[in-house]
Amino acid sequence: MNYWLFKTEPAECSIDDFAAAPTQAIVWEGVRNYQARNFLRDDVALGDQVLIYHSSCKQIGVAGIAEVVRAAYPDPSQFNPQSPYFDAKASREQPRWIAVDLRFVKKLPLLITLDKIKSAAKMAELPLVQKGSRLSVMPVTAQQWQDLLNL
């Protein structure tokens, strides 16, 4: 089993949206970065645990945990001309982008703020806090997972 951190803008999809439908599979679509896509395609597996990170918002940080309930499949939004994530260069035969499905596990009682993560020496290797890193899907080691939830 692997651990991940996925970024999301809570205005789009927040941990509260997960909590509101705790048994439902949430389609994690719209990832449009090749490095992040490759993680989704090659490494994110059924049962993996995911930290849900809120970005570009008032309260930035890790807000909760989700679980992968469906591994890589073609991101449906790339085929939908109505979607902001539509990609004219993608086809059913040759999809470019990958989605996975997640399900709610828990909302953290307290947000683990970016500030806190940045100031924790143990988190220095986390891609999230590395200069210029913009990865929206990143691996987290078992140690980092544990340390982070203990912050």
Q: Measured from the CB of residue 34, what is the shortest distance to DNA in angstroms?
A: 4
Q: Measured from the CB of residue 117, what is the shortest distance to DNA in angstroms?
A: 10
Residues 38-77 contacting DNA, CB under 7 A: 55-57, 60
| 24 vs 87 by CB, closer to DNA | 87
Of 15-23, 38-46, 104-112, 129-137, which part binds DNA (CB under 7 A)? 129-137
One-letter amino acid at 130 equals Q
CA distance 127 to 137: 10
| 69 vs 129 by CB, closer to DNA | 129
| Out of 1, 20, 22, 33, the residue judged to bind DNA by CB under 7 A | 33
| Out of 71, 114, 120, 151, the residue judged to bind DNA by CB under 7 A | 114
CA distance 137 to 44: 10
Q: Measured from the CB of residue 113, what is the shortest distance to DNA in angstroms?
A: 9
For residue 49, the cross-strand partners are 3, 67
Here the contacts of 32-35 (C-beta below 8 Å, separation 24 or greater) are 32/85, 32/87, 32/97, 33/134, 33/135, 33/136, 35/135
